[in-house]
Structure 1
Amino acid sequence: MTERFDLVIAGGGPSGAAAAWQAAQTGAKVVVLDKAEFPRDKPCGDGLTARAVSYLQKMGLAHEITQFHKISGVTVYSPSQWELSFPQRPGMPDYGRTASRAELDTMLLKHAESAGAVVRQGAEVAGPELDARGRVVGVILKNGEKVLGDAVIAADGAYSPLKRGLKIDSDYNGYSAIAIRSEMHANRPDSDRFEIYLKLLFQGDQLPGYGWIFPMGGGRFNIGLGYVNSYKNWQSINATHFFGDFLRTLPAEWELPSVEELKKNKSVRAWRLPMGFTAWPPWRPGVLFAGDSLGAGKPVSGAGISKALESGLAAGECAIAALENGGPDDFTNYQQRMEAAWGREYKRGRFFNKLAGIPKVSETGLKLLDNHTFRDFLLKSLYKKAQSPSHT
């Protein structure tokens, strides 16, 4: 007999786990399905912004996340060096963290389970189950099993089987970043700063992207780079070779391994990060999209974890509210929530993404950022905006 749930969630990453935790608070019958067995690695920069930390605190994980390495600010090289601090916002932390996804995602999934959600690992979702009217009424697993629910949340990643099965596109022109990273030891002191390297050249072109060094504690560092596919020759870039070139620009005294050594231990991982709403509207009858399946990556920085948590929490809340007040045919409440929270930011992001893909524009932007007068003016404006009530 096929078991039925109030809410079926495809994907046990941050957005799926957050949605499950949120929905389970109401007493709803929730199941999370993920093809992996946790803990499992996930390619990521492993950086938690102050906003991501705040969402984890709101989920009741304030004590648990103290185990992760604390980050007090950001050092940017453009190529001149300058410092950024996390803005002081009422009720918000002024620090970030770094956390391996194996640890973070396992913690979040267990937290959802402790709230009452059923978690099924090793359960790969292959596509949606539809009724005669075309409404999503559940999911089909790779083994042919059907898991039915009053509503489904697609938190199944950048290559979402549910989105592909429904042939979902976007009313907006979403875009993606390509990122690659590895975790390694370095012969240098531990740090409490995210390090960002803005000068990222490919065959003389300034790319719309950046390199990063994120300290994990204990002498370990997550080092990687990412670039947006608005650059016309992005498909010509061999990400692994490009990553190796970036590693060679870093100080020799750090004694970093070569990319060839890193490939041998299989720590080099590349991934695609959808941004700018690659599924819009963010719902169809019976299903809501969250995290990477929504295209929730933050424009400009590509930060994905905070957006995954925010969209997951909103999807879990809005799904249950809609089911209690009208049914699964209309999740406009979720669309309105996402539009109010991110609409203006993502509209600007889509515009600047196109511009940044032009190397001369990126080069000019970098020169402006390297001018301390312009930079100070820009930073003052951004900090003032961050501290406004609408951004707290």
Structure 2
Amino acid sequence: MTQRYDVVVAGGGPSGAAAAWQAARTGAKVLVLDKAEFPRDKPCGDGLTARAVSYLQKMGLAKEVAAFHRVNRVTVFSPSQWELSFPKRPGMPDHGYVAPRPVLDTLLLEHAGAAGAEVRQSCEVAGPEVDSAGRVVGVVLKSGEKVLGDAVIAADGAYSPIKRALQIDSEYNGYSAIAIRAEMAANKPDSDSLDIYLNLAFRGDQLPGYAWVFPFGGGRINIGLGYVNSYKNWQQINATQFLGDFMRTLPPEWGLPAIDELKKDRLVRAWRLPMGFTAWPPWRPGVLFTGDSLGAGKPASGAGISKALESGLAAGECAVAALTNSGPDDFTNYAQRMEAAWGKEYRRGRYFHKLAGIPAVANNGIKLIDNAFFRDRMLKALYKKEQGPQHRVSR
């Protein structure tokens, strides 16, 4: 017998779990489907910005999030060293956390289940079920089973089977970043800082990207790097080798393992991060796109978790509101929400994405950022916009 739900969510990652939680708490009959069995690993930098933390707090997970390793500042190497505090904004935390994705994602999925959503793991969505009018009316599982839903939320990742089957495109398609990371033990004190390294060069060209060292606590760290595909030679970069080269620039007393050892132990993971709205408008009749299937990654920095949570919460709310009123043929409310929240930011980010890919621009940009006078003026303008947090510069 074919089952029917108010909302079917394809994908149980942060955006899918947030969408399911939001829809279920209104009383909607919600189903979440994910091909994995949780906890499962997910390649990521594992950093939670203050904004991401604020969404988790609003979802009632403040206590659980506080158990992760707290970070209070960002240390930037450009290559000179300087520090940033998290912005002080009303109603938002002034700190972040580093949260292992297997733990965070399991927490979110269980939270959706506790709100009333039905969760089915090890259940892969192969594509959408579409009616004769072209409206998405459910999903088809890899097993052949069909599950019907008045609304489908496609939270099925960067390679979204639903988006591919519907041949969804966008004028912004093609904006993406390539990232790679490894988790390991390090002989260094646990830090309360997210460390960012801007001086990332390939064959003399400054890359439009950065490297990072994020602390998990307990003597473990996440080391990675990412760069956007606007750099003309990005396909020539061997990401694993490049990560190894970066790790060799870190203090030898940390006692880091060799990249070949990490690779052998399957501790190195790479991924593609679509950004800047690769599905726009973010809906079609019967279906809404969230997280990586939407291309929700921030085009300037690649930040993804806060954007996944925000798009998921908005999709869950907008789906239920539309079903209650206008019906599943029109989710314009979701497009309006995303445009209002991210439109201006993402237009600027896409421009920056292209510009930063030009080596001469990137090279000069790093020189400017490393100039204390220019940097202080830039930070002063930025912090004024963010309501005046404090910052410290050390040289």
Category of TM-score, reference length = shorter chain: over 0.9
- Once residues 183 and 171 of structure 1 are traced to their aligned partners in structure 2, the CA distance between those partners, rounded to angstroms, is 36
Find out whether 1:126 has 2:126 as its counterpart.
yes
- Once residues 46 and 384 of structure 1 are traced to their aligned partners in structure 2, the CA distance between those partners, rounded to angstroms, is 28
Which whole-Å deviations, capped at 9, do the CAs of 1:282-330 have from their partners, x for residues lacking one? 0000000000000001122111000000000000000000011110011
Aligned amino acid, residue 42 of structure 1: K
Runs (4+) of structure 1 exceeding 4 A deviation are: none
CA shift, 1:173, in A, is: 4.6
Which whole-Å deviations, capped at 9, do the CAs of 1:155-209 have from their partners, x for residues lacking one? 0000100000100011335500000000001111110000000000111110000
Query: How well do the aligned residues superpose, as a CA RMSD in angstroms?
Result: 0.8
Aligned amino acid, residue 233 of structure 2: N
Q: Secondary structure at the match of 1:63?
A: helix
Aligned amino acid, residue 262 of structure 2: L
**Corresponding position of 2:96:** 96
CA shift, 1:384, in A, is: 1.8
Find out whether 1:18 has 2:18 as its counterpart.
yes
Q: For the Cα contact (< 8 Å) 2:300–2:350, is it kept in 1? A: no
**Corresponding position of 1:184:** 184
Which whole-Å deviations, capped at 9, do the CAs of 1:78-107 have from their partners, x for residues lacking one? 000000010110110000000000000000
Aligned amino acid, residue 171 of structure 1: E
Aligned amino acid, residue 143 of structure 2: N
**Corresponding position of 1:29:** 29
Percent identity, aligned pairs only?
78
Q: For the Cα contact (< 8 Å) 2:22–2:313, is it kept in 1? A: yes
**Corresponding position of 1:373:** 373
What runs of 5+ residues in structure 2 fail to find an aligned partner? Answer: 389-395
**Corresponding position of 2:139:** 139
- Once residues 178 and 86 of structure 2 are traced to their aligned partners in structure 1, the CA distance between those partners, rounded to angstroms, is 26
Q: For the Cα contact (< 8 Å) 2:69–2:97, is it kept in 1? A: yes
Q: Which one is further off, 118-127 or 244-253?
A: 244-253
Q: Secondary structure at the match of 2:66?
A: helix
Find out whether 1:58 has 2:58 as its counterpart.
yes
Which whole-Å deviations, capped at 9, do the CAs of 1:321-374 have from their partners, x for residues lacking one? 001111001100000000000000000011111110001100111111111111
TM-score, length-normalised on structure 1?
Answer: 0.98
**Structure 1 residues 99-248: aligned runs within 5 Å:** 99-248=99-248
**Corresponding position of 1:3:** 3
Aligned amino acid, residue 140 of structure 1: V
CA shift, 1:112, in A, is: 0.2
Q: For the Cα contact (< 8 Å) 1:174–1:350, is it kept in 2? A: no
Which whole-Å deviations, capped at 9, do the CAs of 1:220-249 have from their partners, x for residues lacking one? 000000000000010111111111111111
- Once residues 385 and 126 of structure 2 are traced to their aligned partners in structure 1, the CA distance between those partners, rounded to angstroms, is 43
Aligned amino acid, residue 69 of structure 1: H
Q: Secondary structure at the match of 1:67?
A: coil
Q: Secondary structure at the match of 1:245?
A: helix
Q: For the Cα contact (< 8 Å) 1:174–1:277, is it kept in 2? A: no
Q: Secondary structure at the match of 1:306?
A: helix
Aligned amino acid, residue 321 of structure 1: A
Q: For the Cα contact (< 8 Å) 1:171–1:281, is it kept in 2? A: no
Aligned amino acid, residue 28 of structure 1: A
**Corresponding position of 1:354:** 354
What runs of 5+ residues in structure 1 fail to find an aligned partner? Answer: none
- Once residues 107 and 132 of structure 1 are traced to their aligned partners in structure 2, the CA distance between those partners, rounded to angstroms, is 39
CA shift, 1:387, in A, is: 2.7
- Once residues 156 and 383 of structure 1 are traced to their aligned partners in structure 2, the CA distance between those partners, rounded to angstroms, is 36
Which whole-Å deviations, capped at 9, do the CAs of 1:127-147 have from their partners, x for residues lacking one? 010000110000111110111
- Once residues 173 and 153 of structure 2 are traced to their aligned partners in structure 1, the CA distance between those partners, rounded to angstroms, is 22
CA shift, 1:26, in A, is: 0.6
**Corresponding position of 2:267:** 267
Q: Secondary structure at the match of 2:270?
A: strand
Which whole-Å deviations, capped at 9, do the CAs of 1:235-273 have from their partners, x for residues lacking one? 111111111111111111111001101011111000001
**Structure 1 residues 340-351: aligned runs within 5 Å:** 340-351=340-351
- Once residues 328 and 375 of structure 2 are traced to their aligned partners in structure 1, the CA distance between those partners, rounded to angstroms, is 48
Q: For the Cα contact (< 8 Å) 2:179–2:271, is it kept in 1? A: yes
Q: For the Cα contact (< 8 Å) 1:174–1:295, is it kept in 2? A: no
**Corresponding position of 2:325:** 325
Q: For the Cα contact (< 8 Å) 2:16–2:153, is it kept in 1? A: yes
Q: For the Cα contact (< 8 Å) 1:173–1:350, is it kept in 2? A: no
TM-score, length-normalised on structure 2?
Answer: 0.97
Which whole-Å deviations, capped at 9, do the CAs of 1:36-85 have from their partners, x for residues lacking one? 00000000000000000000000000011111000001000000000001
Aligned amino acid, residue 329 of structure 2: D
State the number of aligned residues: 388
Q: For the Cα contact (< 8 Å) 2:177–2:274, is it kept in 1? A: yes
